């Protein structure tokens, strides 16, 4: 007669065998589904997963994340055409279809799908966030603002994004010569997020547009002190403010005041040297270029200035090579998004590729010999 221990062992064995058989069948089905996906036979996948709509929706999302947004879109489009899907499934599909188009930058970037999803769940945070991103990328910042405010009201941490979007809206208004409105909006952005550099710069630019040069200069000095790595964005504006109020002689004084607050700012040191050169005080400018290079050995501008100081005494071929090198270097100047590595030729606050704000970094590309 069999003992209880034997029965228990046999039961475990039988259970394991059954589970193994199920796993093998599941793995075969998954392999078959993957082959169908590779062959772009999305209808076959959907047929094999008739009762697993949500799982198939997320499968499409995974395909998009892996880099094939078009195939994900086809999969989601086929799913939504099914006659019997729940309200929740329809909502998920609308959001996924919008995300597919946004990733591909096709059509209206998914705007209509996100708007339809919000008719099902009008306060859903993800749908609101994605619709906001569509408006940001298409430059309709005034439409993104109320959506972000709704998200903040729901407790979502969107303050920094809202501050950047308001800053972009301020610049749009400045392009329309509405400086006073731009100033008001940039002040709102600064109040929402005091650490938003775009808002501070927009505030200074609104003063420049209104010819309030003293206020612009003070705002820019604060900007340089708080964000020294963005000095290159403020310095030309400072120069312009002094020039336009016929006080260019005071520009050097302002730069020296800035360097008092930022003694390790290599770009400021370069500019002081440059201003001294313009004033025909080359000898006085050389120490500033050297100090800049000590702080930042690859400070290209200071390197160029020092080399050019010595070019009159250099052989013609060396002089020509040097000038060609710096011309090429200047043409290879770019800005790279630290989040997605997309490259831009000019500075932007918004990376249109990944949708992040404030992620672009200054970059020189040195060509291999």
Summarised one tens digit per residue, pLDDT across range 35-48 is 444 445 455 554 54
Predicted confidence at residue 216, as pLDDT, reads 97
**11 is a domain residue:** no
Domain boundary among 72, 105, 122: 122
Q: Please check whether residue 171 is in contact with residue 182, taking contact to mean a CB–CB distance below 8 angstroms.
A: yes
The CATH number covering residue 107 comes to 1.25.40
The answer as to whether 86 is a domain residue is yes
Radius of gyration of the chain (CA): 30
- Measured CA angle at 223 (ends 191, 196), to 5 deg: 40
pTM (2 decimals)? 0.79
| DSSP label at residue 121 | S
Alpha carbon distance 153, 159 (integer Å):
10
Mean local confidence (pLDDT), 228-246? 94
Reported confidence tier of residue 366, pLDDT bands at 50, 70, 90: low
Q: What total number of domains does the chain contain?
A: 2
Indicate whether 102 belongs to any domain: yes
344: helix, strand or coil: strand
Residues of the chain with pLDDT > 70: what percent?
A: 78
In the predicted structure, residue 136 carries a pLDDT above the cut 60 = yes
Q: Regarding predicted confidence, which is higher, 89 or 322?
A: 89
Identify which has the larger pLDDT, 217 or 10.
217
Pick the closest to residue 151 from 119, 181, 184, 118 (CA basis).
Answer: 118
Q: Give the model's pLDDT for residue 4.
A: 37
Residues near 335 by beta carbon (within 8 Å), at least 6 away in sequence: 343, 344, 345, 346, 347, 348, 360, 361, 362, 363
Contact 125, 156 (CB under 8 A): yes
Instruction: Provide the pLDDT confidence category of residue 23 given band limits of 50, 70 and 90.
Output: very low
C-alpha 204/C-alpha 213 separation (Å) is: 9
Say if residues 83 and 53 touch (Cβ distance below 8 Å): no
Please state, in angstroms and rounded to a whole number, the distance separating the CA atoms of residues 253 and 143.
43
What 8-state DSSP symbol labels residue 358? S
Note the pLDDT tens digit of each residue in 177-221. Answer: 999 999 999 999 999 999 999 999 999 999 999 999 999 999 999
Confidence tier at 306 by pLDDT (50, 70, 90): confident
In a domain, 111, yes or no: yes
Q: How far is CA 184 from CA 70, 187, 212, 238, 284, in A?
A: 42, 5, 15, 21, 42
**Is 262 domain-assigned?**
no
| Measured distance CA(320)–CA(332) in Å, rounded | 18
Q: Which ranges in 279-315 belong to alpha helices (H)?
A: 282-295, 300-310
Mark residue 200 as left, alpha or beta (left: phi above 0; alpha: psi -120 to 50; beta: remaining): alpha
Q: Is residue 33 one of the residues assigned to a domain?
A: no
Would you place residue 307 in the very low, low, confident or very high pLDDT band (cuts 50, 70, 90)?
confident
Determine contact, residues 320/359, Cβ cutoff 8 Å.
no
The pLDDT, as a whole number, for residue 247 is 92
Which residue, 89, 122, 155, sits at the end of a domain? 122
148-162: pLDDT as tens digits: 999 999 999 999 999
Residue 19 lies in a domain: no
Query: Parallel, antiparallel, or unpaired for β 360-364 and 343-344?
Result: unpaired
Quote the pLDDT of residue 218.
97
Domain of residue 343 covers 332-369
Confidence of residue 9 (pLDDT cuts 50, 70, 90): very low
311 falls in which pLDDT band (50, 70, 90)? Answer: low
φ/ψ (deg, to 5) at 352: -70, -15
Question: Looking at residue 154, what is its pLDDT?
Answer: 96
Out of 62, 96, 122, pick the residue that ends a domain. 122
**Phi and psi (nearest 5°) for 70?**
-65, -45
Count other Cβ atoms within 10 Å, centred on residue 256: 12
From the list 112, 46, 101, the residue with the least C-alpha distance to 79 is 46
Please count the other Cβ atoms lying within 10 Å of the Cβ belonging to residue 274. 19
pLDDT band at 14 (very low <50, low <70, confident <90, very high): very low
Backbone angles phi, psi at 220, to 5 degrees: -70, -35
Residue 144 pLDDT:
97
DSSP string, 38-82: HTT-HHHHHHHTTT-HHHHHHHHHHHHHTT-HHHHHHHHHHHHTS
pLDDT at residue 304 in the model: 78
Residue 307 lies in a domain: no
Q: Over the chain, what is the mean pLDDT?
A: 83
Is the separation of the CB atoms in 248 and 242 below 8 Å? yes
């Amino acid at each position: 007669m069999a003992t209880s221990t034997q029965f228990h062992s046999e039961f475990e064995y039988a259970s394991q065998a059954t589970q193994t058989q199920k796993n093998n069948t599941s793995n075969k089905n998954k392999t078959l589904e993957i082959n169908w996906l590779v062959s772009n036979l999305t209808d076959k996948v959907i047929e094999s997963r008739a009762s697993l709509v949500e799982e198939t929706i997320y499968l499409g999302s995974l395909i998009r994340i892996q880099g094939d947004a078009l195939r994900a879109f086809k999969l989601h489009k086929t799913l939504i055409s099914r006659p019997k899907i729940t309200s929740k499934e329809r909502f998920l599909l609308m959001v996924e279809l919008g995300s597919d188009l946004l990733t591909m930058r096709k059509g209206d970037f998914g705007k209509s799908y996100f708007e339809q999803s919000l008719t099902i769940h009008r306060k859903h945070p993800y749908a609101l966030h994605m619709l906001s991103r569509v408006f940001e990328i298409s430059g309709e910042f005034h439409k993104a603002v109320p959506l972000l405010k709704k998200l903040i009201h729901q407790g979502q941490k969107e303050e920094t994004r809202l501050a950047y979007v308001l800053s972009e809206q301020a610049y749009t208004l400045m392009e329309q010569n509405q400086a006073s409105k731009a100033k008001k909006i940039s002040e709102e952005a600064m109040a929402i997020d005091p650490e938003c550099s775009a808002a501070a710069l927009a505030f200074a630019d609104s003063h420049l547009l209104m010819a309030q040069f003293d206020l612009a200069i003070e705002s820019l000095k604060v900007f340089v002190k708080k964000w020294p790595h963005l000095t290159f964005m403020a310095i030309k504006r400072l120069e312009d403010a002094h020039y336009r109020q016929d006080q260019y002689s005071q520009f050097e004084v302002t730069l020296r005041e800035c360097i008092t607050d930022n003694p390790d700012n290599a770009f400021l040191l370069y500019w002081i040297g440059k201003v001294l050169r313009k004033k025909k005080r080359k000898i006085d400018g050389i120490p500033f270029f050297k100090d800049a290079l000590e702080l930042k050995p690859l400070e290209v501008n200071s390197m160029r200035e020092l080399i050019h100081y010595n070019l009159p005494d250099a052989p013609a071929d060396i002089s020509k090579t040097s000038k060609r090198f710096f011309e090429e270097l200047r043409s290879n100047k770019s800005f790279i998004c630290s989040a997605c590595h997309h490259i831009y030729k000019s500075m932007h606050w918004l990376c249109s590729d990944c949708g992040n704000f404030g992620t672009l970094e200054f970059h020189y590309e040195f060509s291999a010999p």
